């Protein structure tokens, strides 16, 4: 199977950074386009902040600026086509229901930490995306 357009989710966690490094290598080996997504999680914003349009725009701007570091890293590593995208919402649902239909990637690469206890039974963003994404999903640990 050819993967010409790869989507990778990043959030600065150790597992996401591993997935990003893997996505860079894979995109480079396959001369694929790399799209980098980061989702501004709504539960990180309180009610008062959500009403302040300047606050929300500032958060998006900060996130977009941060993603340019990822973009430069991928380009420096030799990936020719690199795009970044920000969104707001629940990461799993947003990526599956909005971003994948919009970008139409061939492959989603995401990180996942091994969960213990109750969190293991409740599921994770990675589990949600692996189950519901209409494309191939590689979960990197």
Give me the residue spans of the domains in the chain: 5-140
Position 18 scores a pLDDT of: 95
CB neighbourhood size of 56 (10 A)? 15
What pLDDT does 12 receive?
Answer: 84
- pLDDT per residue rounded down to tens, the chain (141 residues): 789 999 999 988 899 999 999 999 999 999 999 999 999 876 555 444 444 444 444 556 788 898 999 999 999 999 999 999 999 888 999 999 999 999 999 999 999 875 554 444 345 889 999 999 999 999 998
- The helix/strand/coil state of 39 is strand
Contacting residues for 73 by C-beta, under 8 A, at least 6 apart: 24
Separation of alpha carbons 95 and 107, rounded Å:
12
Q: What is the pTM of this model?
A: 0.84
Q: Can you give the pLDDT at residue 1?
A: 75
Does domain 5-140 bear CATH number 3.40.50.620? yes
Residue 51: predicted pLDDT: 46
Residue 57 confidence (pLDDT): 46
Give residue 59's pLDDT.
59
The token pair at 95 is 């990526």
Alpha-carbon distances of 77 from 4, 25, 27, 134, rounded to whole Å: 17, 8, 10, 29
Contact 85, 65 (CB under 8 A): no
């Amino acid at each position: 199977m050819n993967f010409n357009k790869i989507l990778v989710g990043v959030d600065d966690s150790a597992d996401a950074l591993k997935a990003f490094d893997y996505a860079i290598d894979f995109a480079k080996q396959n001369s694929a386009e790399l799209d980098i997504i980061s989702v501004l999680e709504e539960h990180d914003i309180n009610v008062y902040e959500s009403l302040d349009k300047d606050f929300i725009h500032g958060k998006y701007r900060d996130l977009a600026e941060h993603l340019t570091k990822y973009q430069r890293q991928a380009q420096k590593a030799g990936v020719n086509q690199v795009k970044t995208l920000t969104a707001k919402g629940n990461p799993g649902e947003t990526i599956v229901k909005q971003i994948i239909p919009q970008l139409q990637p061939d492959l989603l690469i995401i990180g996942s930490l091994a969960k213990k206890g109750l969190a293991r039974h409740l599921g994770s963003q990675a589990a949600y995306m692996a189950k519901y994404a209409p494309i191939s999903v590689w979960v990197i640990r």
